[in-house]
Amino acid sequence: MATGSTLNLHKVRIEALTDGVFAIMLTLLVLELKVPEMPRAEAELHLGEHLRHLAPVFVSFIVTFIVGGLFWYLHHLSFHFVNHTSPKLVVANLFFLGFVSLLPFSMALYGRYNGQTIPTVCYFANFIGMSVGLNLHWLVARREGLLIAPRHEADLVLLTRRIRRLLVASVIGLGVAIFQPLFAILAFTAILLVLRSRDRLRPAA
Q: What is the pTM of this model?
A: 0.89
The pLDDT assigned to 134 comes to 97
Could you report the per-residue pLDDT of 76-108, keeping only the tens digit for each? 999 999 998 999 999 999 999 999 999 999 999
The pLDDT assigned to 1 comes to 35
Q: Is 152 exposed, middle or buried (0-12, 13-18, 19+ CB in 10 A)?
A: exposed
Is 144 in contact with 5 (CB distance < 8 Å)? yes
Rounded mean pLDDT, 134-138: 96
Considering the chain, what is the average pLDDT of its residues? 89
% of the chain at pLDDT higher than 70: 89
The pLDDT assigned to 3 comes to 41
Nearest residue to 162 (alpha-carbon basis) of 54, 78, 59, 63? 78
Could you report the per-residue pLDDT of 29-73, keeping only the tens digit for each? 998 888 777 667 676 666 677 677 788 888 999 999 999 999 999
Alpha helix (H) residue ranges in 151-183: 153-179
Is 141 in contact with 82 (CB distance < 8 Å)? yes
Distance, C-alpha 9 to centroid of its chain: 25
Q: Is 155 exposed, middle or buried (0-12, 13-18, 19+ CB in 10 A)?
A: middle
Bridge partners of 82, per DSSP, are 147
